[in-house]
Structures are given as structure tokens and as C-alpha cells.
């Protein structure tokens, strides 16, 4: 299977969807290598950064589900495909 390593940035403009964001990230926990979240109490917004490693289909499904939530923006930067060893 080809896999990619990269970063997914998530901006949550409406924190009422935070539970849905966390549920989706949990569904893909097997491809999440690291996570950092910073809430902004003044604006009610939050930023989450994920380090991910996985196949195109899984990464696309993760970012697609997150990006379809209202008030959520997602951007990703991924390495070129690489054959998984093992």
C-alpha cells in the first residue's frame, strides 16, 4: 500500500461542532501520529494540527469528512507516495 506522511490543519470557526470534529479524528486515530489543539477563548475559534501517515483513500476520507462540517476549514500538506515496508 502506498502511504503519505504529512500535516493536516483544521480551523474551527464555530466550536459547537468540536464534538463532531473530535469524533471524526477518533475514527482515524490509526493514521494520526500527533495532535496539537489551540482554542481561542476570545473569538470562540480553535486550530488543530495533525501529523498523519496513511494511504490516499484514508487521508482523503478524513479531510473530506472534516471539511464537510459547517464552520470548519481543512488544509493538508502531504509527502509524495511511498511504498509501505513490511
Q: Contact 74/10 with Cβ under 8 angstroms? A: yes
Integer Cα distance of 7 and 44 in angstroms: 23
Determine the pLDDT at residue 1. 65
Show the domains of the chain with their CATH numbers.
Answer: 2-83 (3.30.70.1150)
Integer Cα distance of 10 and 74 in angstroms: 5
In 1-86, the DSSP E strands lie at: 2-12, 32-40, 45-54, 72-78, 82-83
With b for 16 or more beta-carbon neighbours within 10 A and e for fewer, the 57-80 pattern comes to ebbebbbebbeebeebebebebee
Q: What is the pLDDT along the chain (86 residues), one digit of tens a residue?
A: 689 999 999 999 988 999 999 999 999 999 999 999 999 989 989 999 999 999 999 999 999 999 999 999 999 999 987 766 65
pTM of structure: 0.89
Amino acid at each position: 500500500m502506498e502511504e503519505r506522511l504529512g500535516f493536516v490543519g483544521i480551523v474551527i470557526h464555530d466550536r459547537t461542532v468540536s464534538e463532531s470534529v473530535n469524533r471524526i479524528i477518533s475514527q482515524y486515530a490509526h493514521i494520526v501520529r500527533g495532535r496539537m489543539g489551540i482554542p481561542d477563548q476570545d473569538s470562540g475559534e480553535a486550530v488543530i494540527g495533525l501529523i498523519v501517515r496513511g494511504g490516499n483513500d484514508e487521508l482523503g476520507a478524513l479531510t473530506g469528512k472534516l471539511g464537510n462540517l459547517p464552520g470548519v476549514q481543512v488544509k493538508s500538506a502531504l509527502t509524495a507516495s511511498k511504498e509501505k515496508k513490511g
